[in-house]
Structure 1
Amino acid sequence: MSTLELAAQSIAVSSFRALENDLTANTYGTMQKDHNGEISALIKIPTTVQGFTFDGGMVGIVKVEQHVGEIWVYVPHGIKRISIFHQQLGHLRDYYFPVPIEKARTYELNLLAGKAQIFEDLTTYQQQVRFRVVPANASVEIDEEPIFVDEQGFASKRLSYGKHSYRVSAVNHYTQAGSLEVKTPETQTSSDGPYVAENDILQVQLKANVGWINMLASKEFHGAYVYLNDERIGQLPMKTEGLKSGDYRLRVMKPGYRNFEQALQLSDGQTVEIQVSLQENIALVTLLADEKTEIWFDGQFKALGRYELKLEPGDYYVETRRTAHERGITQFQIREPNPQSIRLNEPQPMMGSLSVQSEPQQTKVYLNDVFLGETPLTQNDINIGEYRLLMETPGYFPLRQTIAIAHKDTFSVNVSLRKKLNNNEYLSNASLYAGAGLSLQSFVGGSLGVYFAKGINVEANYRYGETKEYIKQHADIRLGYGLKMGKHFLLTPQAGLLARKEKTYTWDYVNGYVLHDDLHVPECLLAARFQYCLNPYMSLSLSAQAVVASKAAGKLVSQADALVHLNFVIPFTK
């Protein structure tokens, strides 16, 4: 059947009805909205023939979709009529719908059954249409239906004879759209104009609507940041994404190098290639200070006395630090990338003051064993820190003290020195002592005593002696008063109580040696203790003592003895 014969036929409608159970028009993914934002009605036309066009008059057609075995026509609700056109089948003008068209409803329109053979014949008259598109990632639509495009940019589809619309689009390219006509060989004449024959390839090359900038650089410049119109877009080396035509400002930045800047103009489809070369912009700087001075840069310790570093032009500051010193600050500028040395400001000592008052005056003052002068004394510009303070004057006990001098502060000392009694050099006003020694009566023993601040003395003694004739144990407690004599001597008169326990041996021919206990009750004791101070912690003592007014075994007893002890002393005060 020829195209001319088909064109003589007309299109008719056999039935039109609402599909009550079909929710396609009101389902997410298949619903469409009209120009007023309301959900469209959907008319489904069962047919395998392609190439139909539709006209809705003033209200228009929302959208036409080609599906398997049918055509979907989306129309605004309230539409009264529709016109159908086909290149070979003819047309149906102003078909009035027999029922109202409501929004979000689905309807079915069946074409006249008598034309079924014609439609079937038309479907057999098809041919393969092939496209080759550039760029290869472009998308291709035929009759508003997308078709697959392979990696080489080829796409193909079987089309029925007649006119078809196509559209080729790609990112950063101008879209190309048009129509093509598929004809049978019998209907092709030289006057028909452009047409697509079997095995023809339709070449479509899209024109880019953007340009590109390709920036190349030596390896030493890799990683430099690239800015386009003051927006950072990447790092060298790089090629930009598609850019709209126009004027651009290019800037490349990398630490240690001068900025690379260039203005350029970009046109559609143009690739501008730029070889970027950066000039070094760095100075070798030597920072100098005293060999014991710490150099700090960017908040970090760098070195003692000397430090070398590379700096770009700009303003900088460096700190110098030393213990007990205020930080030194040095600000400097680098203008040109030339080697230079900078002498840093040294840290200044942190100072305080010392004020000393004393009673008596004219007391000598020493700080860490260095003589400062005599009181009253004020000493300024002393480095901060801890010091050993010594104050001394003849006839008084020296004062030793640890003091701390603070920055911009005055440490004050106001003391009264304690006068020495008899100028005794080693004797403490209060002390604890313990001694051990011998007596004239062949005793060995020990003593434990204490001197209080007022000179009062309390002492306890224990002595033990043993011979072939007796065993003796003596214990006493004494109370005395110490009298200082010169620089080393102390005399202490004492009085106390003595308890004695003695055992004697007798001989007879029957029992041999017999031991007899002889227990004495407490007895009065008088003594005088002489002490020589070897140093503040050791002394020798001699105690002369006598037991008086004692009555034992029915007779008056008077007994004298002398004790020599080596004593260890723990002084409490000076």
Structure 2
Amino acid sequence: MKRLSLLILFAVLLALPALSQQISVESFTPLENDLTANTAGTMKKDQNGKTCALIKVVTSEKGFNFDVGILGVVATEQKVGEIWVYVPEKIRFITIAHPQLGVLRNYPIPQQVESARTYELRLVTGKVHTVIEEAQTDQFVVFHISPADAILEFDGQPLLLDAEGSASCFKPFGKYQYRIERKDYHTEVGSVTVTAEKASVNVNMRPMFGWLEVNSANAGSDARVFVDGSDHGTLPLHTLQLGSGKHLLKIIKPLYHIFQQSVTIADNDTLRVNAALKSDFRNYTITGDADADIYINQEYKGHGSWSGPLASGTYRIELRKPSHRTTIRSITINANDLSANDIISLPAPTPIYGSLKVTSSPMEATVAIDGKVMGKTPLFIKEVLIGSRSVTLSKDGYKTETATTDIDERKTSELNIVLNNAIRVKFTSNVTSVVNIDGKYIGLTPCDALLTCTKHEISMSADRYQSRTETIDISEGSSLISWQLKPNFKKVTISCNQNANFYIDGKIAGSGYSISRDIDYGEHSISAYYEGKSKETTITVAEGNESSVGFSFRKKRYHENYVSNDAFYMGAIYQCLNFQGAGAIMGFFAGKFNMEVSFIAGNESKEVDWYTSTNSLAHTSDFKNWRINGRIGWGLRCGNVVRITPQIGAAVLALQDRSKIADETAPSACSFTGSMQFALVYKKLCISVTPEYYVPVAKSDGMKELVKVSDTYDKALKGFDLQVGISLIF
């Protein structure tokens, strides 16, 4: 193993030189008819005076060097398609070298080289390509500018920046100028020299702006900030960008002196100003008529009196009151004068009057103006405040009347009102109700009646609702009486987890999973019925009580009876113990009575050596067997899917001799059978398992002889067996 590893390593080492050169020898052959090496003009002598051998190296490439060792190459001549190499006789190796193709070192010449003979050596080489490289005169210039939206001008031409602020161009060697501009930044100017190495220019432009932050400890949030006349919102002001240089800062707040300051913003710097505002107000109290509205410079301030801050200045203060002359006063306030009175009192507005004459029919009606009783008709009122006045006339036995009249300054207005002693009143309610007035039936709502303007006892009643009775003075009431009667019942929700029938006090109320019914106040019996089961509870229905009743029944696993008393079925069976085979079954149920027949073919034939009663010679028979069963039974239902059917019947076992050697009738036997069929029924499918017991009652002569030599058929005639089957029900 070690020797084999060394041989493999040696072979790899020998192959490595070949991988680094592109020269190999295709063939080396003597040219028997070529006399070039021994012909005058092409013949050459070596240093010993002997005629040289000539090797014609066939190759399309040029520039090869040859070496044959100490004796040396005598001469080489470049010919078309080949190189003539003159060498001394008896050389054993030749080395071929090329500047691009590499070296083929010490190629062993496969035969002895003789003097004055010509040989051909064919080379296989790679191709030599001549590449002319031009001198580099151009290179890339790459710019990285921040911010990225600056304008770049390079060598007098615009150069577009990408989204990251980068750009590049390919330029000849030399020196170039660039210029970078952007609003709010200092212009950047410079030069770049393009050489053999890629040039990169990185410029972060210097901002020509800074930031202003303004805050105040006493200004609050309603102070507005202005810079150079532009509104920048309320305090505090966070990092407002401004151009470098001077700016005018103003802070204006009501009731405060204007804050004004010149600020200087430096490049790329944040100036923070903490403004202290000086108050220019004083708290004043304005009083006058308790029923008058107070206005300051046309702005409503309050009713009766007002207290609040006022800044230094001149104000127009008014006390306004309906039907009165407005009190007006102009006041100049100096908020810094603490010695001045801080309570401003104004005289009450003066009333403006007109006159009113009131008459009525009948007379002696009480007159009230704006709710204030003034006397009885006929009545003259000398001083009545101007404007729209509400005049009410009332008299026992008559409907109270109200009229509106306009009173003008220094003018007399007249008003005459006729009082009625009866009024038509309309009655409505939330449910159709019986209306009785003073114990007399009027009608069903909605209805109306003409009533005298006195007190009347009015009542409304409706079935299953609470009655309502009140005494109402018609003369003071409206022409519409609308009542809401309260119900004597409540909506009760009855629910169940199953689809049940619901009863209320023994009467069917509905069915389903949930119903809602209006039930009168009081005790009631609520019951639910489901699948022959019932549950009952008693509830008290009252205002505010719980309004739901719930029942729960256990859900049956099966909802449908699949075991039918009248059915016909057909299917497949398999006998799996003593007699093994598959077959078919057919039967029916009429009520509980059952009848069925089945046919079973044995799984395989069996060869038996035996003697027949008519043939004393031993022979071998190949039997195929069948069994036919006929049974009657009585089905017993066990739930919705299971039926158990005890059965009795007879079975015939028949054998067929397929060898046809025996000349007598095929063996057969008859057995009495008792069985118990267990059936699982689901919809139209029935799966059955039937334990059986067979008792032989008759055997043919052939069967008697056969069971003596084969216990297989003896077991098939008697004892336990098991039949399984699957059927379709029709």
TM-score range, shorter chain: 0.3 to 0.5
The structure with more radius of gyration: 2
Q: Please, what TM-score do these two structures have when normalized by structure 2?
A: 0.29
